[in-house]
Chain A
Amino acid sequence: MSDRKPTHGTYAVLAVPVTMLVVFFLVPFGIMVASSFYHRVEGGFYTPAFELNSWRRLFTEVFIERAVFSIGISLLAGAVCIAVAFPFTFFLTRMKRRPHVALLVVVMSALSLSEVIVGFTWSVLLGRAAGISNILVWLGVMDEARAYQPGFVAVLLGLCYIAFPYCVLTLYPSLSRLDREVTEAAQTMGASPWRTFWTVVVPISRPIIVAGFLLVFVFTLGSYLISAILGRPEHWTLSVFISDQASFNANVPFAAAMAIFLTVLSLAVVGVVTVVESRTRRLT
């Protein structure tokens, strides 16, 4: 089927979506690249120019601190999500029908919550008025209610919450197909279930673990609302910082420069990990 040679009509049909993507994605991206060199005017405007001011600001402490924090918290969220989601999904795939389906429904329901709702509910849960600490006070475990948000842990928990269902769904197909006989063979050779898990299941699943980690990393890197709702400015991710510069600070050129940095970073991470993973797979 894919052997067919395209006709003029084929190219005409293809031109419609490609034109839309070029006009409404590539062109805006191009304008954004250009505007990173523009001259910023106080009051929110920018005039076409060729300056490197905005790019120089990428080397300031303010930005570097933001970038390092963003990358760091995304890596951490990736690690935490995988560490919990992998065993969770592994056990899920072995469950009987009722609990299996029920758990899947819970995971899918969590997935369909919008980020703003998730941010909101966690701000309540970790707040001082109607949250976890109030329950603990009511139970007598704590003396006084405390607010855990805005804070670093709050942002991390929120990021893990929105990324977790996607992580499970990425791991689910291949873990459900994991050949039972492989683990059974290991056990007949004397490995306990615990040992089998670490020495057989995890190594076999390495590609999918890497994929899940990468997914959470890129996904949380792009998150805006969780960080904005549950974090103070020192906990803002790059996405919040960029958006803030673009709207409230009216410094579009700087925002554009940072956005390009973020683009290069995302593509580079995905590219490097993919290459490394395929190289090591060829060696094993």
Chain B
Amino acid sequence: MRALKWTTTGLTLVFLVAPLLVIAIVSVNENRYMDFPPQGLSFEWYWALWTDLGWRSAILTSLTVASLGALVAVAIATPLAYVLRAYRIRLSPLLYALGILPFMLPPVISALGAQVFWNAADHAGRIENVIIAHGIFFSTLPLITISLAMETMDPALPEAAQTLGANPRTTFRTITLPLLVPSMITGYAAAFVLSLNEYIIAFLVAGFSVQTLPIKIFNGIRYGFTPTIASVAVVFIVIAATVFSLFAVFGNLLRFLGADPAILERNDA
């Protein structure tokens, strides 16, 4: 049993970390062409992220699409999640299914659908197409987080507000909405990150005129490689690792992932 534990954990760790190490090494390689062992140390590829206009533009495009797309996603999800949980709506399961359907299907389906839609509307190749498509596709994430928050909220809270004289609108504004804000932020963050990394929808909808970061990277891999791609990857990895480490130290990472809160005390005992 011990053997199983160590082999599984060890192999998995190597499996997960290996690509991260490789990409870190490649990103500081002096040579333009990848080789191993690395020839020299150079940070020029990181510098290129800042100076190269193509990379700057792709980063900006991706950030624009992600920040606005995630906003659309939350704007769609919030009223949907709230109304479906706070009121007795007859078609409620159907509407909820409509909300999660886009994300549950393979992305290429949403991508192709969006492409033919914007072509038919004679509005092809624009950045707002991508923003809307991402907003719809990723609206499932805030829908789930906000629905969960509604479900775990004490139903007596809005009732208490009402007994204190608040009509339904005031109750929503002063009590329900502030309590939903954390789940809205989590949903926004998830939609933002996923939009930043998304390829196929962005490509089919407006890939030849709007170049997001993943599109630029993929083109780079297909048609010509520079280690700048590696430096982008490393930046992503470092940001993610930092965010999660901070979360683990200052927040409650385990509870966030759904663990039993007492689990660490039990294990340490």
Contact = CB atoms under 8 A, between A and B. Distances in A.
Interface of A: 1-6, 10, 13-14, 16-18, 20-22, 24-29, 31-32, 35, 84, 87-88, 91-97, 100-101, 103-110, 112-125, 127, 129-131, 134-135, 138, 161, 164, 169, 172-173, 176-177, 180, 192-194, 197, 218, 221-222, 224-225, 228-229, 238-239, 242-243, 246-247, 252, 255-256, 259, 262-263, 266-267, 270
Contacts of B65: none
B49 to A, nearest CB: 14
B217 A116 contact: yes
13 contacts: A21-B136, A22-B98, A101-B253, A101-B254, A106-B17, A109-B237, A112-B240, A113-B233, A117-B23, A121-B19, A121-B20, A121-B23, A135-B36
Given A93-B263, A97-B267, A24 B132 contact: yes
A20 B76 contact: yes
Interface stretch (B40-48, B102-110, B177-185): B102-110
Interface of B: 1, 4-5, 8-9, 11-13, 15-20, 22-23, 25-26, 29, 33-38, 75-77, 79-80, 83-89, 95, 98-99, 101-102, 104-117, 120, 132-133, 136, 139, 155, 158-159, 193, 196-200, 203-204, 207, 214, 217-218, 221, 229-230, 232-233, 236-237, 240-241, 244-245, 248, 253-254, 257-260, 263-264, 266-268
Contact of B245 (A105, A169, A192): A105
Contact of A247 (B16, B33, B76, B207): B207
A3 B117 contact: no
From B12, B116, B229, B233, residue with most partner A Cβ within 10 Å: B116
Contacts of A101: 248, 253-254
A197 B1 contact: yes
A32 B108 CA distance: 12
Contact of A107 (B16, B86, B204, B232): B16
A243 B4 CA distance: 42
B98 A21 contact: yes
Contacts of A224: 107-108, 199-200
A115 B136 contact: no
From A4, A114, A255, residue with most partner B Cβ within 10 Å: A114
Given A28-B116, A108-B244, A176-B258, 5 more contacts: A25-B102, A92-B9, A120-B217, A246-B112, A252-B112
Given A104-B254, A129-B36, A225-B199, A13 B79 contact: yes
B59 to A, nearest CB: 13
B106 A262 contact: yes
Contacts of B85: 1-2
A84 B87 contact: no
A182 to B, nearest CB: 14
Contacts of A134: 35-37
A26 B13 CA distance: 42
A109 B214 CA distance: 18
Contact of A95 (B23, B104, B267): B267
A88 B133 contact: no
B20 to A, nearest CB: 7
